[in-house]
Amino acid sequence: MKRHNPTLVVLVAAFAAMTAAGAAAAANFPIGTHLVKGTLKDWQNKVLTSSAAVTIQAVATNGTVIASTKVANPTEDGYNFLLQIPLSSTATDSTAAVDDELNCVLAQDSGLSLAVSPIKVGEANTVSTVALAYVNMKDYTSTNGTGTTASVPAEYVDTIAPWMEAYEIEGDYDPFADYDNDGASNYDEYRAGTNPFDDTDRLAITAYTASQNALHTLSFEYAGGHVYGVETTLSLTNPEWALQKVKKTETDAEHEQVMPSADEDDVGVATIYVVPAEGAKSQFFKLEAK
């Protein structure tokens, strides 16, 4: 039997490998760059400058940073960052594909990082715009002279920011302000699930039935996903408000608070029952969102 030429075998194998590599390259190739320009504001609705030392990163679902840029001083049109996202026909460890959703991570030089809304990747050689808010748990001191301080979660800003944009209101996300002048602060309305820019939409007792020997009955409009409680006092002269336990039904166990519905899209009217204070000739209630 004639022996095979080993050199020929190696050459054939090498040619096959190159052919396979060429097929892979043809299946995935660079197609350009998608630009994302945006405005990054702080939690008080102020456009950040380069002094904030914040980096914006577009991160693939596997954790790879696809694009990164520092916040710059804002241009005349208010944009303060530009991400250049490299594209290929199929996403790789260093590129994205059209219609991918990349995680957007904001990182500060101090080491604090925060994930925000994802970035949708557009077509090659096009530009999309995005508005982001750099928020985290903050202590906010009232600017109205009272010196009140509240710890404001990021979710508060995420909720009120779209309202302010829809109503074309610029300025601070002040939780102590009452933008619709209905007697409830912006932050109280956030906790209640009501519209802070509609004075007809606020948390209130809509129906009440008093009883000296049986349960008091309170009705109110609720928003799903929110928790409510009742406080009571025996006098409105120098009132001393205290938490009052309530029942979801007349035969239910007593609770400190109630969630009428866990469905965040659900709204309706809830009725709760309050045990009267023993021996009280009068009793006053107020409803609160927790």
pLDDT tens profile 169-186: 776 778 888 889 998 888
pLDDT tens profile 189-234: 988 889 898 999 989 899 998 765 678 899 999 998 888 989 988 8
**Is 119 or 110 the better-scoring residue by pLDDT?**
119
Assess contact for 272 and 222: CB atoms under 8 A.
Answer: no
Q: Which residues of 216-230 are buried (b: 16+ CB within 10 A; e: fewer)?
A: bebebbbbeebebbb
pLDDT of residue 43: 64
Task: Kindly report the pTM of this predicted structure.
Answer: 0.53
β pairing state of 30-42 and 127-134: parallel
Residue spans per domain, the chain: 30-134, 138-192, 205-289
Q: Is it true that domain 30-134 has CATH number 3.90.1010.10?
A: no
Give phi and psi for 167, each to the nearest 5: -95, 5
pLDDT tens profile 223-275: 988 889 899 888 888 888 888 888 888 888 888 888 888 888 899 999 999 88
β pairing state of 267-274 and 246-247: antiparallel
133 forms beta bridges with: 41
What is the rounded distance in angstroms from the CA atom of residue 126 to the CA atom of residue 36? 9
**Is 34 or 21 the better-scoring residue by pLDDT?**
34
pLDDT range class, residue 6, cuts 50, 70, 90: very low
**Is 109 or 140 the better-scoring residue by pLDDT?**
109
Tokens at 131, concatenated: 């508005």
Residue with tokens 């808010």: 133
